[in-house]
Amino acid sequence: MAKIILHQWEISPFCGKVRKILALKKLRYETVDYAGVRAPLVKKLSFAGKLPVLDYDDIRIQDSTDIARFLEQRHPEPALYPADTVERAQALLLEDWADESFYWYEVFLRSEFEDAFKTTLKLFCKERPRWEWEIFGFFFHRIVRKQLRGQGLGRQSRETVISN
């Protein structure tokens, strides 16, 4: 059996996607979390500086979609994608659309709802001194709101985003 290590942000929907694939395929794996003080180490793992990264024995795969395809090749059962080529193409298209679209809704919800923001802050600031949390929270809100405006969601009211 292969040794599988998932390098992850616990809070990342893309890392969550990989955890679900590993569970579906009943593969045993370890996780290494990079929240808090470990965050700068991600740059050493990933060319893009992003997670998830999966170590599969001596092979390193980056990006949740690439990881999904790699695992599907190595462990075809149960199948992630339909066998029919047209249906498979549609599934891959929907996967890409969901990755790129839903991510920003999740970022919006995490930044605009107090309980979700507290959870996000707790995970990002894990093992950091409490005084850093407020500083991080302030800059997080500024950066995220700018990104959300660029995506279009930040120009809409909370009620509009939720009702759509």
- pLDDT higher than 90, residue 152: no
Say whether both 56 and 107 belong to one domain.
no
Q: How confident is the model at residue 154 (pLDDT cuts 50, 70, 90)?
A: confident
Instruction: Return the pLDDT at 68.
Output: 97
Say whether both 134 and 64 belong to one domain.
no
**Is the residue at 79 inside a domain?**
no
Scored b (16 or more CB within 10 A) or e, 113-144 reads eeeebeebbebbbeeeeeeebeeebeebeeeb
Q: How confident is the model at residue 96 (pLDDT cuts 50, 70, 90)?
A: very high
**Cα(98)–Cα(86) distance, rounded to whole angstroms?**
18
- pLDDT higher than 80, residue 164: no
By the 8 A CB rule, do 96 and 65 touch? yes
Containing domain of residue 155, as a range? 85-163
* Tokens 């290494």 belong to residue: 32
Say whether both 70 and 112 belong to one domain.
no
Say whether both 24 and 45 belong to one domain.
yes
Share of the chain above pLDDT 90, in %: 52
Say whether both 43 and 24 belong to one domain.
yes
By the 8 A CB rule, do 54 and 67 touch? yes
**Is the residue at 138 inside a domain?**
yes
Angle in degrees, CA 59, 60, 64, rounded to 5: 130
Instruction: Return the pLDDT at 132.
Output: 86
Say whether both 89 and 158 belong to one domain.
yes
Say whether both 95 and 62 belong to one domain.
no
Q: How confident is the model at residue 16 (pLDDT cuts 50, 70, 90)?
A: very high
Predicted TM-score of the model (pTM): 0.86
Q: How many domains does the chain have?
A: 2
